[in-house]
Protein backbone atom coordinates (compact mmCIF):
# COMPACT_ATOMS: atom_id res chain seq x y z
CA UNK A 1 0.00 0.00 0.00
CA UNK A 2 2.90 2.36 0.64
CA UNK A 3 4.04 1.83 -2.95
CA UNK A 4 0.64 2.96 -4.21
CA UNK A 5 0.69 6.12 -2.08
CA UNK A 6 4.20 7.05 -3.21
CA UNK A 7 3.30 6.52 -6.87
CA UNK A 8 0.03 8.47 -6.65
CA UNK A 9 1.73 11.40 -4.88
CA UNK A 10 4.51 11.48 -7.48
CA UNK A 11 2.22 11.32 -10.52
CA UNK A 12 -0.15 13.97 -9.14
CA UNK A 13 2.78 16.27 -8.31
CA UNK A 14 4.32 15.89 -11.76
CA UNK A 15 1.19 16.05 -13.91
CA UNK A 16 -1.51 17.88 -11.89
CA UNK A 17 -3.92 15.14 -12.98
CA UNK A 18 -7.04 14.34 -11.00
CA UNK A 19 -6.01 12.43 -7.86
CA UNK A 20 -8.96 10.01 -8.12
CA UNK A 21 -8.07 9.09 -11.71
CA UNK A 22 -4.43 8.53 -10.79
CA UNK A 23 -5.40 6.47 -7.74
CA UNK A 24 -7.70 4.23 -9.80
CA UNK A 25 -5.03 3.65 -12.45
CA UNK A 26 -2.25 2.92 -9.93
CA UNK A 27 -4.56 0.58 -8.00
CA UNK A 28 -5.22 -1.44 -11.19
CA UNK A 29 -1.48 -1.80 -11.77
CA UNK A 30 -0.90 -2.75 -8.14
CA UNK A 31 -3.60 -5.41 -8.25
CA UNK A 32 -2.07 -6.71 -11.49
CA UNK A 33 1.12 -7.44 -9.56
CA UNK A 34 3.28 -4.32 -9.95
CA UNK A 35 4.63 -3.59 -6.46
CA UNK A 36 7.64 -1.34 -7.10
CA UNK A 37 6.88 2.37 -6.49
CA UNK A 38 9.26 3.45 -9.27
CA UNK A 39 7.59 1.14 -11.79
CA UNK A 40 4.11 2.26 -10.69
CA UNK A 41 5.12 5.91 -11.04
CA UNK A 42 6.72 5.37 -14.46
CA UNK A 43 3.73 3.47 -15.84
CA UNK A 44 1.34 6.02 -14.33
CA UNK A 45 3.21 8.90 -15.92
CA UNK A 46 3.26 7.17 -19.30
CA UNK A 47 -0.48 6.56 -19.24
CA UNK A 48 -1.64 9.87 -17.80
CA UNK A 49 0.61 12.19 -19.78
CA UNK A 50 -0.91 11.13 -23.08
Is the pTM of the predicted complex or chain greater than 0.85?
yes
> Residue 10 has what pLDDT?
95
> Residue 48 has what pLDDT?
83
Nearest to 5 by CA among 26, 25, 20: 26
pLDDT per residue as tens digits for the range 5-40: 999 999 999 999 999 999 999 999 999 999 999 999
**pLDDT over 80 at 50, yes or no:** no
> Residue 7 has what pLDDT?
95
Q: Are 44 and 29 in contact (CB under 8 A)?
A: yes
> Residue 31 has what pLDDT?
95
Amino acid sequence: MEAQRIAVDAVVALTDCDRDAVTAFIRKLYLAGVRDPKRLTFKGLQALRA
